[in-house]
Structure 1
Amino acid sequence: MFGLLALLVNILPYPLILKAGRQLGAFSKRFAKKRVHIATRNFELAFPEKSPEEVRQLVDENLKNTGAALMETGIAWFWPTWRLKRILIDKDTQVVRKHGENGKGVLLCCVHALNLEITARACAVIGLSGYGVYRPHKNPAYEFIQYRGRTRNGNKLIYRRDLKRMIRILRQGHRLFYLPDQDYGHNKSVFVPFFAVENACTTTGTSILAYTSRCAIVPGSGFRNDAGKYEIIADQSIEENYPQKDEVAAAAYMNKYMEAIIMRAPEQWMWIHKRFKSNPDSSLNHQRYL
């Protein structure tokens, strides 16, 4: 399957690759009823002011982009660098580059955009390589291809539970890609507002890393624009006012920036994930999706 994906993305023109992915996503709506329900509930919870028709349109577009994400993974893992450069725009990354010149570690906080694989490699292609947090795949063949794809152009990977190494590489002045926008369960998490949900389970990992390493904190994104190009943006360094010693305040502070990033292209975020599955009372987990 990976061989077929690599073949398709390398022989087809980019507009056709993107169109095929979006059509695949639209077709999947007939069979992925559970994912359609999750995405619909997420939009309803996050944006209660939207009408059922507006929610339906957002879900449809999100599913199309979910299908495109398969092709985008193929692009990120199998395209040659010269071809990838053609669809990248280094829109604003001067803040990150300045920290690098000063030898300061950067916690580059991104979101679970559906095109995340392209964003990660794109950063390396434009000279902003870093360390990604990941979970190895159980299948050795899949793991080999995934690891190779995610470490192209100088990126490196860190096991997601290796907190000590994350702190060490930040103290050494490197960049660490970190995604604090999902629901990772009750462990090392607090409940703070995220969009219209007042008690959204949010990781405290950001404050732990920032407090122990004294790194810079920069929100970043790489969404696809209307012309089909990916805009790499990392234009704010927010550590100065970040309440590192207060985990609850820090999580709420970071969520505001994550919301702002997602709203750059909300239809391209991973709404098919149960972002609001956890409740303060764990016995009520998943109640929002019934």
Structure 2
Amino acid sequence: MKKLPVFNYSFLHPRFWFVWLGIGTLYILVLLPYPIIHYLGTRIGRITKYFMLNRMHIIRRNLELCFPNLSNQEQRDLFNKNCESIGMGIFETGMAWFWSEHRIKRWFKISGLNNIIQTQKKNKGVLLIGMHFFTLELGARILGIINPGIGVYRPNNNPLLDWLQTKGRLRSNKMMLDRTDIKGMIKALKNGEIVWYAPDHDYGHKNSVFVPLFAVSNAASTIGTYILTKIAKPAIVPFVARRLPNAIGYELLILPNKQNEIPIETNIDMIKHINKVIEQVILLAPDQYMWLHRRFKTRPPGEPSLY
């Protein structure tokens, strides 16, 4: 469990000066009006494809694997929009960490909040299924403002960035749990808490099963969702914070409880259905999803790398 972090004076060491410079620049830039932020973010994102060459290859490959039925032009268009989201994601992280509550609310509209409220009235924990969108930090912030919960995260390897990330997320949420703290998540859910959980990444062979995701028949998928649901029996509520076109703001979509739709007899059956939910949510804003991660890096024994 991680509560509000204490500043460490070692963060003033020269080895962190470059990080401070980047954070300071981001802080100043997110003071700008949102339409200007949107303009800068999308333009910076377009430039990334000329520098992050390895990540660009991963994005293209993921789109080929997941959407083989798209034409070449459609894949290029999605790729270019995704690059714009990389730039916006940098600014959106700064917005989540540094914007006031009033400003966050001003640029968000919220749909489906009742899907959480009705569940909480039954004193039931909520497993909030999120995905790794570039709007991830901003989505966590607005959710914390309207209904504070508990975030699940991976500590950053850079201690200063970990401090900033934790401090930013705890501006509007109760606490943070390490993603390996399954007991902590179960306890929170049994106590009726909202626990934000992202089961959409490839976390390796351990505690994973191979089930379909989009057009990839064997995607290594965590069984963490199965364990949490089997023991704590929470509501399963997917959500996404998506950026709206033309710099008009954001929409937080909270979808209906999926608990009664998802079988939990076996981990294979359940994770198949969870991946279907993940697909549905990603398709709400496919250009804003983090395709730059090697989602299909773990392969069944004997299968070659897809990258």
- What TM-score bracket applies, with the shorter chain setting the length? over 0.9
1:25-84 CA-to-partner distances (Å, cap 9, x unmatched) read: 101111111111100010101011112222111111101101110000000000111111
Contact conserved, 1:207 with 1:245, CA < 8 A, in 2?
Answer: no
How many angstroms does 1:100 deviate by? 1.5
Aligned residues: 285
Within a 5 Å distance, the mapping from 1:276-287 to structure 2 comes to 276-281=296-301, 284=303, 287=305
How many angstroms does 1:245 deviate by? 2.8
Query: Who is 2:124 aligned against?
Result: 104
1:224 aligns with 2:243: yes
- Distance (Å, rounded) in 2 between the aligned partners of 1:62 and 1:98: 35
1:164-193 CA-to-partner distances (Å, cap 9, x unmatched) read: 010000000000001111111111111111
Query: Who is 1:41 aligned against?
Result: 61
Contact conserved, 2:237 with 2:256, CA < 8 A, in 1?
Answer: yes
Contact conserved, 2:150 with 2:173, CA < 8 A, in 1?
Answer: no
Query: Who is 1:3 aligned against?
Result: 24
- Distance (Å, rounded) in 2 between the aligned partners of 1:109 and 1:250: 14
Q: Percent identity?
A: 40
Q: Which one is further off, 60-69 or 232-241?
A: 232-241
Query: Who is 1:50 aligned against?
Result: 70
Q: Indicate how the Cα distance of structure 1 residues 138 and 40 shifts in structure 2: closer, same or farther if over 3 A, else same.
A: closer
How many angstroms does 1:284 deviate by? 4.1
- Distance (Å, rounded) in 2 between the aligned partners of 1:141 and 1:35: 24
Query: Who is 1:239 aligned against?
Result: 259
2:162 to 143, 146, 150: 143
One-letter identity of the residue aligned with 1:247: N
- Distance (Å, rounded) in 1 between the aligned partners of 2:245 and 2:223: 34
1:174 aligns with 2:185: no
- Distance (Å, rounded) in 1 between the aligned partners of 2:166 and 2:70: 40
Contact conserved, 2:149 with 2:174, CA < 8 A, in 1?
Answer: yes
Within a 5 Å distance, the mapping from 1:202-281 to structure 2 comes to 202-227=221-246, 228-281=248-301
- Distance (Å, rounded) in 1 between the aligned partners of 2:137 and 2:86: 13
- Distance (Å, rounded) in 2 between the aligned partners of 1:155 and 1:18: 30
One-letter identity of the residue aligned with 1:184: Y
1:132 to 151, 161, 177: 151
How many angstroms does 1:155 deviate by? 3.8
2:91 to 63, 68, 71: 71
Contact conserved, 2:41 with 2:90, CA < 8 A, in 1?
Answer: yes
One-letter identity of the residue aligned with 1:196: A
- Distance (Å, rounded) in 2 between the aligned partners of 1:80 and 1:144: 19
Contact conserved, 1:94 with 1:235, CA < 8 A, in 2?
Answer: no
Contact conserved, 1:170 with 1:215, CA < 8 A, in 2?
Answer: yes
One-letter identity of the residue aligned with 1:44: E
1:141-184 CA-to-partner distances (Å, cap 9, x unmatched) read: 22221111011123421011111010000000000001111111
1:118 aligns with 2:138: yes
How many angstroms does 1:201 deviate by? 0.9
How many angstroms does 1:257 deviate by? 0.8
Which runs of 5 or more residues in structure 1 are unaligned?
none
The residue matched to 1:192 in structure 2 has which SS? strand
One-letter identity of the residue aligned with 1:54: E
- Distance (Å, rounded) in 2 between the aligned partners of 1:154 and 1:110: 15
One-letter identity of the residue aligned with 2:297: K
Query: Who is 2:182 aligned against?
Result: 163
Contact conserved, 1:220 with 1:232, CA < 8 A, in 2?
Answer: yes
How many angstroms does 1:233 deviate by? 1.5
Normalised by the length of structure 2, the TM-score is 0.90
